[in-house]
């Protein structure tokens, strides 16, 4: 069975960016947004074929391209994505000087928001910060596999694009990590990904950081009763994303979180039943938001899609792009998708 795009080593990172990106539903009607995922650099023929399509909702397409370390010709081809509503590009390196012209041309040519998701695991050097600013990205997500020190954290405030940080580490920050986090610009949204829920010491440290937009993403683990007081007393917690490979949990799970916190259910490898979707939607009781992110390559049933339109939810369905080499789209065992995003925006 293929690996889903919600997972990523070494610490099961973002949504790709997608749990960290875009949680802005219209409460009058559900939004079914479609994201096409492709691993590698698409060919000219694939781009030409994609550009003749719209999403199931009749809109332009949101693309998530996992391009590793794209070179100039691969970036130039992307200008042919004339039907792109959003373009998210995952890379393992910061953009190089040798691709300056292509990155600038791409960011200037597309009538859409281009998000760069850097998965190298560390922060940019001074030269890389200058290039990020010169290349005019609308949005940037940087994934850290550790907590930066004060000097590295302060450097991030020089990035002029809309910036989001994802911490894909093995643990929540410790007391000794606080100085670097305190040096981050408080306005930068921060996502912590984990396989367990915060306890007292984690709440304490997070409340010592100045971030005004703290988000959690926890994978395939339900919160225990003893965790809830600490989760709900993280002062600047704005969103909780719970990723599951099943739906065998009670609706009371969602109701146990603080009412004003936005909630995202990330369904990895399956379409949630309409009964469970309705239970999730029923937890809406104010101005907070609810979103479901589905990562599944199965076809979506027409009746299922129609039923979703009657709900006040944001629905994001990510699947492998058509005209893809299915073998190319498989995740290898040591690199699993998270979707991302991300993000969260």
pLDDT reported for residue 292: 93
In this structure, of 28-32, 129-133, 166-170, the range with the lowest mean pLDDT score is 28-32
Cβ contacts of 229 within 8 Å, gap of 6 or more: none
Q: Are 61 and 90 in contact (CB under 8 A)?
A: no
Secondary structure of the chain in HEC code, one letter for each residue: CCCCCCCCCCCCCCCECCCCCCCCCCCCCCEEEEEEEEECCCCHHHHHHHCCCCCCCCCCEEEEEEEECCCHHHHHHHHHCCCEEEEEEEECCCCCHHHHHHHHHHHHHCCCEEEEEEEEECCCCHHHHHHHHHCCCCEEEEEECCCCCHHHHHHHCCCCCEEEEEECCCCCCCHHHHHHHHHCCCCCCEEEEECCCCCHHHHHHHCCCCCCCEEEEEECCCCCCCCHHHHCCCCCEEEEEEEECCCCCCCHHHHCCCCCCEEEEEEECCCCCHHHHHHHHCCCCCCCCEEEEEECCCCCCHHHHHHHCCCCCEEEEEEECCCCCHHHHCCCCCCCCCCCECCCC
State the pLDDT confidence band at 325, using cuts at 50, 70 and 90. low
Whether the per-residue pLDDT at 332 is higher than 80: the answer is no
Question: Which whole number is the average pLDDT over 84-99?
Answer: 95
**Above pLDDT 90, what percent of the chain?**
63
In this structure, of 149-158, 170-179, 332-341, the range with the lowest mean pLDDT score is 332-341
Question: Which whole number is the average pLDDT over 220-240?
Answer: 95
Structure tokens at 105: 């041309």
**Above pLDDT 70, what percent of the chain?**
84
pTM of the model: 0.87
Whether the per-residue pLDDT at 344 is higher than 50: the answer is no
Cβ neighbours, 10 Å, residue 170: 11
In this structure, of 12-26, 143-157, 208-222, 268-282, the range with the lowest mean pLDDT score is 12-26
Whether the per-residue pLDDT at 331 is higher than 50: the answer is no
State the pLDDT confidence band at 38, using cuts at 50, 70 and 90. very high
| Backbone φ and ψ of 114, nearest 5° | -105, 125
> What CA–CA distances, in Å, run from 157 to 58, 101, 338?
38, 25, 26
State the pLDDT confidence band at 31, using cuts at 50, 70 and 90. low
The C-alpha atoms of residue 225 and residue 228 are separated, in whole angstroms, by 6
Q: Are 221 and 196 in contact (CB under 8 A)?
A: yes
Residues in the chain: 345
| Mean pLDDT over each residue of the chain, to the nearest integer | 85
């Amino acid at each position: 069975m293929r690996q889903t795009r919600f997972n990523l080593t070494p610490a099961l990172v973002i949504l790709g960016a997608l749990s960290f990106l875009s949680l802005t539903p219209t409460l009058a009607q559900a939004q079914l947004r479609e994201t096409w995922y492709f691993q590698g650099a698409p060919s000219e023929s694939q781009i030409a074929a994609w550009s003749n399509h719209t999403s199931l909702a009749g809109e332009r397409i949101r693309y998530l391209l996992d391009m590793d370390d794209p070179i100039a010709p691969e970036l130039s081809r992307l200008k042919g994505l004339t039907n792109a509503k959003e373009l998210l590009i995952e890379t393992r390196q910061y953009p190089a000087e040798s691709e300056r012209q292509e990155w600038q041309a791409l960011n200037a040519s597309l009538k859409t928001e281009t998000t760069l998701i850097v998965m190298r695991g560390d922060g940019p050097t001074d030269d890389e910060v200058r290039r990020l600013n010169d290349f005019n990205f609308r949005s940037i997500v940087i994934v850290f596999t550790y907590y930066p020190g004060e000097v590295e954290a302060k450097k991030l405030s020089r990035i002029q694009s809309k910036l989001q940080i994802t911490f894909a580490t093995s643990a929540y920050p410790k007391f000794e990590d606080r100085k670097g986090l305190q040096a981050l610009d408080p306005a930068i949204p921060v996502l912590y990904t984990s396989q367990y829920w915060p306890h007292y010491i984690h709440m304490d440290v997070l409340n010592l950081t100045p971030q005004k937009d703290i988000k959690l993403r926890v994978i395939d683990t339900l919160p225990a009763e003893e965790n809830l007081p600490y989760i709900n007393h993280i002062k600047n917690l704005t969103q909780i994303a719970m990723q599951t490979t099943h739906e065998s949990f009670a609706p009371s799970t969602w109701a146990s979180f603080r009412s004003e916190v936005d909630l995202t259910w990330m369904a990895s490898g399956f379409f949630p039943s309409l009964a469970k979707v309705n239970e999730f939607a029923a937890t809406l009781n104010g101005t907070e938001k609810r979103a479901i992110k589905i990562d599944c390559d199965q076809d979506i049933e027409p009746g299922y899609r129609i039923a979703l339109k009657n709900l006040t939810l944001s629905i994001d369905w990510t699947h492998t792009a058509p005209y893809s080499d299915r073998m190319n789209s498989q995740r290898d065992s040591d690199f699993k998708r998270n979707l991302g995003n991300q993000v969260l925006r």
